[in-house]
A and B are shown apart, each in its own frame.
Chain A
Amino acid sequence: MAFFNRDRLPVMLGAAAAAAITAGALIVSTANAAPPGDAAPAFREANTAGKEISLADFKGKTVILEWTNDGCPFVQKHYNSQNMQKTQAAATKDGVIWLSVISSKPGAQGHVDGARADKLTADRGAKPTHVLLDPDGSMGRAYGAKTTPHIYIITPDGKVGYNGAIDSIKSNKVEDVPKATNYVTAALVSLKSGKAPDPALTVPYGCDVKY
């Protein structure tokens, strides 16, 4: 009469199966991923209403992360020219989730509370799905966000599809916007037609993220 014998086999098999499922889910949800092709790092950050938003909320959808700082001249370039709003509107109209992320630490340029962030969104006519507040910079560091703006596109299968600049001309001048290739729009078009974005990795330009 052993305490554990084949009587317990079903239990053990059940245990093994569930353990495999949970461990698998755990690894998939947290694997690292700045470079295109890797799994996007999981995150859970508060939006401007204090609700926690995580990547897992948007399974099966394309998600765009836009690092931003309203005091940064490069961010102002793309908002004053309406370029960012137009890109956001076109993306979200297509069912893409757009998350603007603010990783400025408290006291640094661009650090805002939920109310201020909402006012900025309203004043600028911005169209993000959510604005996420990441004052400890943990989400920014997990993604390796360097500049504002810095854009990541996460494909519906949870992988990084694009990582880099919003467009091709590194400047803070509004007049360069129409001359530049909008990498985000281009990547979304590629993804929609089932192709990998090209380029999928560019050097982001802008102000440093105020970690």
Chain B
Amino acid sequence: MKRGLRVRALLSWATKGLAALALAAATFGGAAYAQASAKSDHAEGTLVFERSAATPGDSFLGALKLDLAEGWHVYWKNPGDSGLPPTAEWTPSPGVTFGDFRFPAPHAIPLATLMNYGYEQQVVLPFQIQIAADAKPGTEAPIGGKIEYLICADICIPEDIELSTTLRIAASPETDADGSAIIVGTLAHIPVALTGKASVERTSTGFRLAAADAGLAGAIGTAKNIRFFPDGPELSNPAKQIVKTGPEGVSIELTASDFAKAGDQNLNGIIVLTDGDGSTRAWEIAALPGPAPAGVADKEFINADTSGITPPPAVAAAAPLGFTDLLITLGLAFVGGLVLNLMPCVLPVLTIKAAGLVHTAHNPKESRAHGLAYLGGVVVCFAAIGGILIVLRAAGEQAGLGFQLQYPPITAFFALVMFAVGLNLLGVFEMGGSLMGVGSGLAERGGTSGAFFTGLLAAFVGAPCVGPFMAPAFATALAQPAPVVMAVFVVVGIGLAAPFVLLSFTPAFAKVLPKPGRWMETFRQVLAFPMFITVLWLLWVLAGQSGPDGIIAVLAGGIALGFGIWLAKKIGQGTAGRIVASLVILAAFVVPSVSTTWLKAEASTEISANAWSPEKVAELQAEGRVIFVDFTARWCVTCQFNKTALHDASVARAFTDLNVAFLEADWTNKDKVIASELAKHGAAGVPLYLVYPASGAAPQKLDQILTPGMIETAVRQAAGSL
């Protein structure tokens, strides 16, 4: 398919019949005799030459000048992430040889998350012209051909023009003043060979390129921007380049792409220095592996124009935290962990721990051992969650706190674990002691591993609830390097475990507690019921993920669990019986959990009127409405708590009066759009409440614990009625 306007432009007077007149014009006026130009939809191309007359055996420069429509660009020889450079297909002309285009220094042109290299407004591409030695003076050589270029704004259009002119062959050369001026102008921007030395080293993320050269070093003083443009694909084009300078030259930290080979390799391209007035100078770089020369990295060079575009938020590395900031973040993490002890989602598990504490309080040694085991369990669980989160982030996945309950198999599995814990508390499987054939007399160890298990559970249910105090600290921390993320998670765990560890190390505490006795049996049985309530909550979460079938699967698992325990009682004395009962119990956990992978909640065919989407927000903002967005999830207990405030009569009245649009973004299941929106507003998870003012300005973020008064005030302010 041919696109683009085709124009055959001939200079009317450059014909054989008017050769004499042409000669006169060229001689007297220095006018652009040997010129041809043509227009396409978004560019005008012109051929210019250094000579108005060439001699046999002559070698000189011609150039293609492209003037581009405002906002459009064409490409450098390496176009970057997309695009194509201009090409010429010269019409064969006896006695004339055409060289390739030489490309002046390009600009970095960012496009969303991609980076292109090219030219805006105008580019002049010189090329060599060689005249055969046997060319006859007094003749004319036709010069022309088809020029093709991909020209892009937000869209790309391939355009082409045909240019045609003639060049006079004479006994002595004649200079074309206009053409020469244009060509000399572009030569200033053509990369020059490096007289010094260029070297390249591998770094963990890519390359460190160094170039020591007197001319380059001398030009640094007036440069506003320094950038390396690679010839090949081995670099990430959009990645920010970190430039350092010294008295001998420059060094640049570059990020590798998938095309970089492992280990040392050559790196070719150009280093471009741009002055304040936009003029460029460039040096050709053919760097060989080796250490950087001295005097190229004394101080950091800050590019005035940060043409490295910001990577997408998911992988954005936040500015590294200073030591003080790190301490503050870790302090907040500790406080957040402490506060978790008061969160409704951890409370049921904590009651088990509390009961354990009562039990061991009168045996200081056992008490301490259990305290430490519990700490270990909490920390291991948080470290595991942190580790998986780091892996997910590295994989470009948008994961936030509480992500573990976005996976139905985990929710289902966890509901069954809670159910089993409840049964145990009721004493249902006291007698299954020899199920796995473990010898007796290891009760001590059993108790310690029990404490460890309690810790795991507490941390697992606790993480989605990390809650109000933690969210800002976590949002910052999650963007930090992996070791910092890990440290934060571990410290949250220590905070969560701290109260119980302290108590288990305080012998005086035992005196406050009553002596163990029959009451403990009753107390323990009572604790089964918070467990069953937790099961109910998890089933409700699962209902939103896997629908009724998921619930049925878990209930079936519950029955199988009961059956397995009963079986163990009946036939658990023999080895075969033990194996059968264990298999049934294992299946009771694994089968329902895994089956939820294939079960999906009935996707509601019509999108509910108030479902959030970025487009919906934009649409409502355009209408000048106040918008209240509730980022929520079924597994987020704080979110459920806040529903009572949201459904308060005074809030409903305010919403009606002010015509507030109420949008809900439900993050119960994984959703990349919601996750990236959360990240955009600095939230590490749900809840997040945003109020967009009627003016269309940026939204206001509400606290994570809502009160009806707070919501009303926020929407009235947003409506401009306060």
Contact yes or no, B420 A136, CB < 8 A: no
CA A7 to CA B359, docked complex, whole Å: 17
B 434-452 contacts with A by CB, 8 A = 435-436, 438, 440, 442-443, 445-447, 449-451
Which residue of A has the minimal Cβ distance to B258? A35
Which residue of A has the minimal Cβ distance to B431? A7
CA A43 to CA B263, docked complex, whole Å: 32
Contact yes or no, B258 A163, CB < 8 A: yes
B179-201 near A? 1/0 per residue, CB < 8 Å: 00000000000000000000000
Cβ of A122 within 8 Å of any chain B Cβ, yes or no, is: no
CA A20 to CA B476, docked complex, whole Å: 29
Cβ contact of B397, chosen from A30, A52, A106, A203, cutoff 8 A: A30
Chain A residues within an 8 Å CB radius of B356? 2-4
Cβ of A186 within 8 Å of any chain B Cβ, yes or no, is: no
Contact yes or no, A207 B155, CB < 8 A: yes
Chain B residues within an 8 Å CB radius of A71? 155
**Given A26-B388, A201-B259: A211 touches B155 (CB 8 Å cut-off):** no
Contact yes or no, A138 B454, CB < 8 A: no
CA A34 to CA B260, docked complex, whole Å: 13
Cβ of A180 within 8 Å of any chain B Cβ, yes or no, is: no
Cβ contact of B388, chosen from A11, A27, A42, A73, cutoff 8 A: A27
**Given A6-B442, A18-B413, A72-B156: A210 touches B1 (CB 8 Å cut-off):** no
Contact yes or no, A209 B114, CB < 8 A: yes
Chain A residues within an 8 Å CB radius of B664? none
- Count residues on chain A whose CB falls below 8 Å from chain B CBs: 66
**Given A10-B582, A141-B312: A208 touches B82 (CB 8 Å cut-off):** yes
Contact yes or no, A73 B154, CB < 8 A: no
Cβ of A108 within 8 Å of any chain B Cβ, yes or no, is: yes
Chain A residues within an 8 Å CB radius of B442? 6
Cβ of A15 within 8 Å of any chain B Cβ, yes or no, is: yes
Cβ contact of B111, chosen from A2, A52, A74, A208, cutoff 8 A: A208
CA A5 to CA B112, docked complex, whole Å: 58
Cβ of B430 within 8 Å of any chain A Cβ, yes or no, is: yes
Chain B residues within an 8 Å CB radius of A35? 258
Chain B residues within an 8 Å CB radius of A25? 409, 597
Which residue of A has the minimal Cβ distance to B366? A2
Chain B residues within an 8 Å CB radius of A181? none
Contact yes or no, A12 B312, CB < 8 A: no
Report the minimum CB–CB distance from A211 to chain B (whole Å).
4
CA A18 to CA B445, docked complex, whole Å: 23
CA A171 to CA B388, docked complex, whole Å: 43
Contact yes or no, B409 A6, CB < 8 A: no
Which residue of A has the minimal Cβ distance to B259? A201
Contact yes or no, B396 A41, CB < 8 A: yes
**Given A141-B312, A208-B112, A211-B112: A14 touches B407 (CB 8 Å cut-off):** no
CA A7 to CA B435, docked complex, whole Å: 7
**Given A7-B432, A31-B395: A210 touches B359 (CB 8 Å cut-off):** no
Report the minimum CB–CB distance from B663 to chain A (whole Å).
17
Cβ of B150 within 8 Å of any chain A Cβ, yes or no, is: yes
**Given A30-B392, A170-B84, A201-B258: A4 touches B454 (CB 8 Å cut-off):** yes
A 137-173 contacts with B by CB, 8 A = 137-138, 141-142, 144, 146-147, 163, 170-172
Chain B residues within an 8 Å CB radius of A136? 614, 672-673, 676
**Given A109-B154, A163-B258: A32 touches B449 (CB 8 Å cut-off):** no
Cβ of B507 within 8 Å of any chain A Cβ, yes or no, is: no
Cβ contact of B114, chosen from A9, A106, A211, cutoff 8 A: A211
Cβ of B429 within 8 Å of any chain A Cβ, yes or no, is: yes
CA A141 to CA B397, docked complex, whole Å: 10
Cβ of B712 within 8 Å of any chain A Cβ, yes or no, is: no
Contact yes or no, B150 A22, CB < 8 A: no
Contact yes or no, B258 A5, CB < 8 A: no
Interface size class of B (residues with CB under 8 A): 35 or more
Chain A residues within an 8 Å CB radius of B454? 4
Chain A residues within an 8 Å CB radius of B83? 207-208
CA A27 to CA B392, docked complex, whole Å: 7
Cβ of A13 within 8 Å of any chain B Cβ, yes or no, is: yes
CA A42 to CA B597, docked complex, whole Å: 14
CA A174 to CA B158, docked complex, whole Å: 12
Cβ of B141 within 8 Å of any chain A Cβ, yes or no, is: no
Cβ of A76 within 8 Å of any chain B Cβ, yes or no, is: yes
Which residue of A has the minimal Cβ distance to B447? A2
Contact yes or no, B433 A73, CB < 8 A: no
Q: Which of B112, B388, B603 has the most CB of A within 10 A?
A: B112
Which residue of A has the minimal Cβ distance to B564? A10
Report the minimum CB–CB distance from A154 to chain B (whole Å).
15
Contact yes or no, B114 A208, CB < 8 A: yes
Cβ contact of A4, chosen from B154, B155, B446, cutoff 8 A: B446
Contact yes or no, A207 B396, CB < 8 A: no
Which residue of B has the minimal Cβ distance to A6? B446
Cβ of A23 within 8 Å of any chain B Cβ, yes or no, is: yes
Cβ contact of B82, chosen from A30, A32, A147, cutoff 8 A: A147
Q: Which of A14, A23, A72 has the most CB of B within 10 A?
A: A14
Contact yes or no, B432 A10, CB < 8 A: yes
CA A8 to CA B456, docked complex, whole Å: 15
Cβ of A19 within 8 Å of any chain B Cβ, yes or no, is: yes
CA A208 to CA B309, docked complex, whole Å: 15
Contact yes or no, B433 A7, CB < 8 A: yes
CA A147 to CA B425, docked complex, whole Å: 59
Chain B residues within an 8 Å CB radius of A13? 436, 586
Which residue of B has the minimal Cβ distance to A105? B112
Report the minimum CB–CB distance from A95 to chain B (whole Å).
22
Cβ of B288 within 8 Å of any chain A Cβ, yes or no, is: no
Cβ contact of A19, chosen from B413, B430, B588, cutoff 8 A: B413
CA A32 to CA B111, docked complex, whole Å: 23
The residues of B with any CB-CB pair to A shorter than 8 Å are: 1, 3, 81-84, 111-114, 116, 150, 152, 154-158, 233, 258-259, 312, 314, 352, 355-356, 359, 384, 388, 391-392, 394-398, 407, 409-410, 413, 417, 420, 424-425, 429-433, 435-436, 438, 440, 442-443, 445-447, 449-451, 453-454, 524, 568, 581-582, 585-586, 588-590, 593-594, 597, 603, 614-615, 670, 672-673, 676
Residue contacts A-B, CB under 8 angstroms, 17 given: A2-B447, A4-B447, A7-B430, A7-B435, A8-B453, A9-B446, A13-B586, A15-B453, A27-B388, A72-B155, A73-B1, A109-B155, A136-B614, A142-B396, A171-B84, A208-B82, A208-B83
